[in-house]
Amino acid sequence: MTTGTVTAALDGSAQSAAAADWAADEAVRRGMSLRLVHAWLWNPLDAAVALDPDLQERWALGVLRDGEARVRTAHPELEVTTELLADEPVPALVAAGAGTDLLVLGSRGHGTVLGYLLGSVSLRVLRQATRPVVVARAPRPGEASRPLDEVVVGVGETGSRDRDVNPVLEFAFAAAAARGATLRAVRAWTIPPVFAWGAGSMRLADEAGGLEPLQRRELADALEPWRKEYPDVPVVEHVEIGSAPEVLVSNGGRAALTVVGVHDPDARLRRLGSTVHAVLHHAPAAVAVVPG
């Protein structure tokens, strides 16, 4: 489903302003419109804003108004709409994400406490989302001089899934094409215990010339249909022995965007997993989490 819209969630914080900036830039790159949303229900306990529901609503509308003014200043040609979502934040943003090409949320920082700084709302939205969600963050000091010329994507085992239906790789290639960036496809692998090997696995490894060549062949096979779909996107294939979180983060030094997938089809039971959490904690730029 393509809607031609990028949606950014605003809450009045500097982090959501960074999300709006990122979403506006992405909408321009992809020739899409931008939708700014704020989830709000009157909360009589929210004395930090106001006890009066009319004052709370005016504050909420002001968040959207300020966000719109911000992105229009940077991109006067961009089509921008705003919407106040009358619901609790998590269901409102999950629903908003389901009706857009891309939902963009803000993050407050990097490091081991990011799970708290990102916020329970954002983490719950990531777990329940049915469409891609990007967690954007403001650049850190000194990052302006760092080249951001790659989109990095983690490529795990595809198993029996159709190689031509891979939303993670589809998103990553499209993002690289929109930026004119190189796609760095990263595959981490570990040596399995002996008891985990069956006759079929041993035969495949022998035919490929060993375990690492087998991993390289499987990565190349996963990328093949997307290379054909996006022939102008330069691709770097990186295979490395090690844990997926460490290998993916260590290859993100030039990443303008890091793309990871979550594969549990039941969003109600979905866990983000160690790789997604590691990238959210430590990736220096925006992170896209793609259900697939």
pLDDT digits (tens, 9 = 90+) for 179-226: 999 999 999 988 654 444 555 554 555 455 567 888 999 999 999 999
The answer to whether the CB of 106 falls within 8 A of the CB of 136 is yes
* Residue listed under structure tokens 């290379």: 227
The answer to whether the CB of 179 falls within 8 A of the CB of 151 is yes
The residue among 24 and 57 whose pLDDT is bigger is 24
> What is the pTM assigned to this prediction?
0.85
The answer to whether the CB of 23 falls within 8 A of the CB of 35 is no
Distance of CA 25 to the CA centre of its chain: 15
The answer to whether the CB of 116 falls within 8 A of the CB of 21 is no
Q: Say what the pLDDT of residue 281 is.
A: 86
The answer to whether the CB of 9 falls within 8 A of the CB of 93 is yes
Tokens of 89: 């934040």
The residue among 157 and 101 whose pLDDT is bigger is 101
Q: Say what the pLDDT of residue 289 is.
A: 95
Element (H, E) at 238: strand 235-241
CA atoms within 13 A on the CB side of 291: 22
Give the model confidence (pLDDT) of 74-102 as tens digits. Answer: 999 999 999 999 888 899 999 999 999 99
Report the C-alpha gap between 195 and 198 in whole angstroms.
Answer: 8
